[in-house]
Structure 1
Amino acid sequence: MDNDRVVLHVEDDDAAAYLFRVALEEANIRAVVYRVSDGEQALAFLHHRHPYEHAPRPCVAIIDLNLPRVDGWTVLTEVQKDSIPAIVVTTSSVRSDRTRALSVGAVAYVVKSNSFDDFVREVKTAFAIHLPDWPQMHQESMTIP
């Protein structure tokens, strides 16, 4: 597995996680996606705690802000400590959330849109602008229990 292409996707909603994977495919973004469903699992993944002792280091984290157990803000802060670029993908279109996320260190802030085409365009733009060397054209996906 190529660690240069590893995405940690932190999303508690199965439908939203599925749509993100489809958006990557539609945007021709190549990635091995590891998905965890709450903030506590994300921190365990990042710090190689059980059951993620052998988890690869992600080169980007996709973080929902509204997570169970540990919120997305805490996850975003931890990701920044590890110098991993983070893209916030959330339902919140509140300007103060966007400002806060970018000030904490997110490289992009994508609002989950009612339009799938708009969402794909936003994801593609976030990767193109903030991760310009990201390879395209192939995707694998893994869900971590």
Structure 2
Amino acid sequence: MTTARRRPRVLLVEDDPGDVLMIQEAYADLGRSGDLMVVNDGIDALEHVRREGTFADAPRPDLILLDLNLPRMSGREVLHALKTDPDLSHIPVVVLTTSSGEEDIVSAYTGHASSYVTKPVDFEQFVAAIHKIDRFYSEVARLPDHAA
């Protein structure tokens, strides 16, 4: 017997409007634009997942796509805060960044990122990467259930 799996709610933490637009287009292409929430900096990311302030009624994401270079609080700091908080540490975090530096890759995995993806420059490759991430977390990986 197979049970229908709910598509994961995704929080995109990205300050580059062009990258936000490409990711939104990739989710729209999948028919999943309603599953994507966007914040533009690290402080808002933590407030969103903690459901604080203006995000008090926001649904908790099942997956976080996290850029490293963010205003107000870096992606590295966000990752550390998430993974050291017992209420949030179970949420998978995919680091999605322009950096291909070995130091950043090691730092992300040491900080317990679920995966590290360097943003492709080419639009089609960028969208394909987002589709692959979505397919993995929607169809292959099993995410923990939690209250909305």
| TM-score tier (shorter) | 0.7 to 0.9
* Counterpart pick for 1:124 among 105, 125, 131: 131
**Aligned equivalent of 1:111, options 118, 121, 125:** 118
TM-score by length of 2: 0.77
The question of whether the paired residues in 1 share the 8 Å contact of 2:7 and 2:35 is answered with: no
Larger strand percent? 1
Scaled by the length of structure 1, the TM-score of the pair is: 0.78
Aligned to 2:130, what secondary structure does the other structure show?
helix
In the alignment, is the contact (CA less than 8 A) between 2:10 and 2:36 conserved in 1?
yes
2:8 aligns with 5
Alignment: residue pair count: 131
Give the residue type in structure 1 aligned to 2:8: R
Choose between structure 1 and 2 for higher RCO, CA contacts under 8 A separated by at least 6 residues. Answer: 1
Structure 1 residue 79: deviation in Å? 2.9
Letter in 1 for 2:78: V
Question: Counterparts of 1:36 and 1:124 in 2: how far apart (Å)?
Answer: 20
Match of 2:100 in 1: 93
**Structure 2: gaps (5+ residues):** 1-5, 142-148
Identity of aligned residues (%): 32
Residue in 1 aligned with 2:64?
61
Whether 1:22 aligns to 2:14 is no
**Backbone CA RMSD of aligned residues:** 2.1
How far residue 22 of structure 1 moved from its aligned partner, in angstroms, is: 1.4
Question: Which blocks of at least 5 consecutive residues in structure 1 are unaligned?
Answer: 135-145
Is 1:48 paired with 2:47?
A: no
Q: 2: CA distance between counterparts of 1:107 and 1:130?
A: 11
